[in-house]
Structure 1
Amino acid sequence: MCVRRYAPAHDSFKEEDMRAALYIDCGSIKAEDIPYIYEEIRKTDDLVISKMFGVEMKDIAEIAERLRIQNNMHCGDDQTSALVALAVEVMADAVGEDVQKIYIATGDLAVLPLLDKLKLMRTNVVVIGPCGADRVLIDNSEKYTYLEIINGGECTAEIPSADEIAGRIYSVSSYYNGMGEDVKLEQVYKSLIRRYPDFDVRNYGYTHLSTFVKKNVSGVQVVNDDCGGSYIKIVDDRKNIDDFAYEYVAGRGYTIEDMAELIDALREKFPGFAMENYGYHTDYGFILSFSRFQIWENKGIKMKKSFKLSSRSDEETEES
């Protein structure tokens, strides 16, 4: 039996809807953003608990009533006491069996100790907050989603470039390719989130991870199985690599002093290039796989004499 695991709304991966709890820090979240937060969660999960914390929550209470959202309201004398109440409620609900996933809507660094504790408990936690939040909060979140993105705006935070993300995707795909496997798109997504907690294809103007891969990652293709699962397959580009390498060395007088120069040139020419894709784990072994090359002075490369003569004959023929 096939189970479709890919939820295309914003590239989250799951086997089934999770029972989720939402805790809103009304001291750092605007009232008008709350409907978008609820809509974001309900795309993928079943929201069973919703609690809001703040000092003055009149506007937020009115929105909750208008949307017919059932909430537990917790007011405090100041922001600190409100966040303490939030932390107490989160911990109480996290140890129970009714909640499988926790969402915390905040932009306040004061929740860092709470996040650290939840990590130790291996609790599935998503922080939803503004683009202007301190980077420390973002980097210490298991997953961080930008408010501006879920309400249809643009990401103004400092995020990794599309090229950096593409390189990471190729690297993960290469690792699995070296083991003789095509990597699942779900595995790539999880790897990206571990490295970049705020990764979201919507940050780059896409709605599907597969589309991002097709548009930004060279040397791979996205394939689907009969169950609707998506995989990334490394494209064998060895012939183009060979042709480029031979031309590169010939253009430098058929000799280069350090094989690392050629490896760097290949990486620049072919984004995401990795020797492991071709079964090699050392520069030395990879260079020896070229039929026209020989190792020179233990670290350089020379074109074999017969191939140098052949190349010159070809050039003379073209000139005549």
Structure 2
Amino acid sequence: MKNDMKIAVLIDADNVSDKYIKYIFDEISNLGMPTYKRIYGDWTKPQLASWKTVLLNYSITPIQQYSYTTGKNATDAALIIDAMDILYSNNVDSFCIVSSDSDFTRLATRLREAGMYVVGMGEKKTPTPFISACEKFKYLEVIASNPGETGGLNNQIGKQEHAKEGMTSKKELIQSLKTIITESSDEDGWANLGEVGSRLNNRYPDFDTRNYGHSKLRPLILSLNQFEIEARRTNKNQNSHYVVRNKTK
């Protein structure tokens, strides 16, 4: 994945709190440059008033969408139409859809079919179909309360708190790691840690080491007590990479 992508950031104001906005754009900055920054909602509603200052500070363009019919989500329709217009403009490499709404599942799938890198961001209540439709999915509660780093909403959240409903359990994670390592290992059972991480990301769109209280993959794997990790030199300049294998009983 490149970190210089041009990204269209589309936010569903009906399903996202303004308190997450800093963490959303901090996360996006790791991927590339937000070329489009748009947020959708009925701005005549008083519950969206808290967004006004945020929109100015982050130069986000509000898209007004009136709720013409009760029970129909006009905001979703407006976001989807804009996303397709942006897709056909050929001005971006990636989309970031910020919502906890499963109504964007088909949109994420269609964008990926067109070759776009699709990142989803939403709360832990986000339905699995939307998570699975994205190439990567980030939980807003996690990126806003990253243990061991300053600036989170609540740095006191314990490590066990992160492995909640909606995330892969540690038991399943361990089993998947063992399988991936076995499939990609050499004759001595060692597999490249970077390759293992890539396969894990492909298998679970919502995988993030921060979900389990760690900022990197290596300390997470070591904490599981099921694996061995070694550093290997790759050339005469003593550059090294890490390899991992399943512990033998």
TM range (shorter): 0.7 to 0.9
Q: Structure 1 residues 95, 158: closer, same or farther in 2, change over 3 A? A: same
Superposition RMSD in Å: 2.6
2:93 is aligned with 1:100: yes
Q: Give the counterpart letter for 1:121 in structure 2.
A: A
* Shift in Å, 1:213: 1.6
The aligned residue for residue 51 of structure 2 is: 60
Contact kept, 8 Å, 1:221 with 1:235, in 2: the verdict is no
2:61 is aligned with 1:72: yes
Q: Structure 1 residues 157, 219: closer, same or farther in 2, change over 3 A? A: closer
Structure 1 segments of 4+ aligned residues over 4 angstroms from their partners: 178-182, 224-229
2:243 is aligned with 1:232: yes
Contact kept, 8 Å, 1:192 with 1:199, in 2: the verdict is yes
* Shift in Å, 1:225: 4.5
Structure 2 CA distance for aligned equivalents of residues 194 and 37 of structure 1: 22
The aligned residue for residue 173 of structure 2 is: 165
Q: Which runs of 5+ in 2 are unaligned?
A: 146-153, 155-160
Contact kept, 8 Å, 2:8 with 2:34, in 1: the verdict is yes
Task: Tell me the TM-score normalised to structure 2 length.
Answer: 0.78
Q: Give the counterpart letter for 2:226 in structure 1.
A: S
* Shift in Å, 1:129: 0.2
* Shift in Å, 1:211: 1.0
Q: Give the counterpart letter for 1:55 in structure 2.
A: D
2:105 to 109, 112, 122: 112
Q: Structure 1 residues 216, 235: closer, same or farther in 2, change over 3 A? A: closer
Q: Structure 1 residues 230, 122: closer, same or farther in 2, change over 3 A? A: farther
Deviation digits for residues 37-58 of structure 1 (CA, Å, limit 9, x no counterpart): 1122113422222111111243
Q: Structure 1 residues 87, 225: closer, same or farther in 2, change over 3 A? A: farther
SS at match of 1:169: helix
* Shift in Å, 1:176: 1.7
User: Aligned pairs, how many?
Assistant: 223
Q: Structure 1 residues 195, 94: closer, same or farther in 2, change over 3 A? A: same
Q: Note the 1:26-41 alignment, pairs <5 A.
A: 26-41=13-28
Task: Tell me the TM-score normalised to structure 1 length.
Answer: 0.62
Q: Give the counterpart letter for 1:189 in structure 2.
A: G
Q: Give the counterpart letter for 2:135 in structure 1.
A: E
2:185 to 165, 177, 180: 177
Structure 2 CA distance for aligned equivalents of residues 219 and 34 of structure 1: 37
Deviation digits for residues 266-301 of structure 1 (CA, Å, limit 9, x no counterpart): xxxx4xxxxxxxxxxxxxxxxxxxxxxxxxxxxxxx
Q: Structure 1 residues 15, 85: closer, same or farther in 2, change over 3 A? A: closer
Select the structure of larger CA radius of gyration: 1
Query: What percentage of aligned pairs have identical amino acids?
Result: 21
Deviation digits for residues 60-99 of structure 1 (CA, Å, limit 9, x no counterpart): 122121x2x2222211112722211111221222234432
The aligned residue for residue 123 of structure 1 is: 116
2:12 to 25, 34, 46: 25
Contact kept, 8 Å, 2:221 with 2:227, in 1: the verdict is no
Q: Give the counterpart letter for 2:61 in structure 1.
A: N
SS at match of 1:133: coil
Q: Structure 1 residues 129, 224: closer, same or farther in 2, change over 3 A? A: farther
Structure 2 CA distance for aligned equivalents of residues 229 and 92 of structure 1: 45
Structure 1 CA distance for aligned equivalents of residues 230 and 55 of structure 2: 42
Higher helix share: 1
Contact kept, 8 Å, 2:8 with 2:35, in 1: the verdict is yes
Q: Which runs of 5+ in 1 are unaligned?
A: 1-13, 238-269, 271-320
